[in-house]
């Protein structure tokens, strides 16, 4: 019996990972409800997150924490290994978050960069974080940039991974096709996850040519009740709001926060001809390109990215940057 995918309503869970100990706490227990109002008409959601910190009783970090946000169709799990190592290398507390409509964070009808920024600001307020370094990939990078432009007092440093506030990569034009493919997938009931992923992969191949991209998309395939499978992301909302996410908002201000743009050499998301215009928005911007990496730099060249990020976070002056 064939069934069509439906969107899954993810419960907003908070995962705190401390050394080898993991504790899961519901978002309802970590604050006052699923959403709180913070100015204008935006209602931020309670973001799911994983935190990485020392379990040594005597250890108290004096540095600002690091908040990591994934890209479109991703989740905090994409940054699990990187977060652990980054914590060990910097001794900073690391928070890897799920954006709304992704991972374990709540699903909403609204999704713009303003919403993502207010979600991050609400998280910082709930956790009593006065300032943080932000690492953002793709969509998460644009959310981090807008955060810095609107609330520079909350941002210590920025690490923007393979995304620009200026240009739109031609690759983004394929995303609606990806959404169409995901919505068209049909699976049988009561089959193992491995078989479900194989079937979904075969059906997605007509819409998503690259095998690696399909495997990334399939990380969102989760088991549901009644022997069914569902997409973990809120696919309807993401597809409906995609035009708002494809372009960076017009802000009209600049931000002096130390900023590092890291691009993959095989990606066209950050173009060298745009560096000058980017610096008008981020005067302290520096640029690094990692050879052999595509858009998913953290998956293609994790070691190289880790070294660059660690050096920048620990000491801005160690990065000379490429112009």
- Cite the active site residues: 138, 236, 295
Report the DSSP pairing between strands 21-26 and 229-231: unpaired
Helix axes 113-126, 139-150, angle to 10 degrees: 70
Question: CB under 8 Å to 125, separation ≥6 — which residues?
Answer: 38
Tokens 């869970």, residue located: 13
How many CA atoms lie less than 13 Å away from 232 in the CB half-sphere? 23
Handedness of CA 109, 112, 116, 118 (dihedral sign): negative
Tokens 């908070």, residue located: 14
Q: What pairs with residue 135 in β-bridges?
A: 68, 159
163-194 burial, b for 16+ CB within 10 Å, e for fewer?
bbbebebeeeeebeebbebbeebebeeeeeee
């Amino acid at each position: 019996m064939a069934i069509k995918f439906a969107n899954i309503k993810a419960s907003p869970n908070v995962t705190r990972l401390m050394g080898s100990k993991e504790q899961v706490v519901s978002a309802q227990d970590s604050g006052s409800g699923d959403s709180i109002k913070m100015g204008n008409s935006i209602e931020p959601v309670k973001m799911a997150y994983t935190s990485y910190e020392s379990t040594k009783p005597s250890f108290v970090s004096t540095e600002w924490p690091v908040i990591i946000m994934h890209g479109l169709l991703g989740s905090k799990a994409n940054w699990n290994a990187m977060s652990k190592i980054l914590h060990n290398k910097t001794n900073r507390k690391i928070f890897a978050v799920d954006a709304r409509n992704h991972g374990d964070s709540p699903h909403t009808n609204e999704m713009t960069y303003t919403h993502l920024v207010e979600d991050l600001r609400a998280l910082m307020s709930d956790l009593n974080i006065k300032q943080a370094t932000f690492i953002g990939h793709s969509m998460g990078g644009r959310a981090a940039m807008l955060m810095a432009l609107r609330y520079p007092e909350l941002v210590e440093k920025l690490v923007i991974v393979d995304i620009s506030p200026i240009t739109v990569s031609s690759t983004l034009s394929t995303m609606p096709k990806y959404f169409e493919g995901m919505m068209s997938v049909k699976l049988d009931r009561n089959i193992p996850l491995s078989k479900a992923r194989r079937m979904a992969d075969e059906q997605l191949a007509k819409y998503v040519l690259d095998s690696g991209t399909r495997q990334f998309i399939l990380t969102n395939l989760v088991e549901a009740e009644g022997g069914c499978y569902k997409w973990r992301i809120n696919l309807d909302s993401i597809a409906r709001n995609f035009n708002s996410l494809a372009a960076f908002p017009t802000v009209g201000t600049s931000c002096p926060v130390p900023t590092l743009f890291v691009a993959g050499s095989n990606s066209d998301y950050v173009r060298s001809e745009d560096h000058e215009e980017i610096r008008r928005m981020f005067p302290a911007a520096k640029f690094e390109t990692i050879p052999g990496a595509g858009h998913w730099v953290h998956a293609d060249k994790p070691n190289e990215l880790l070294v660059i990020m660690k050096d920048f976070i620990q000491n801005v002056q160690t990065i000379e940057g490429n112009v």
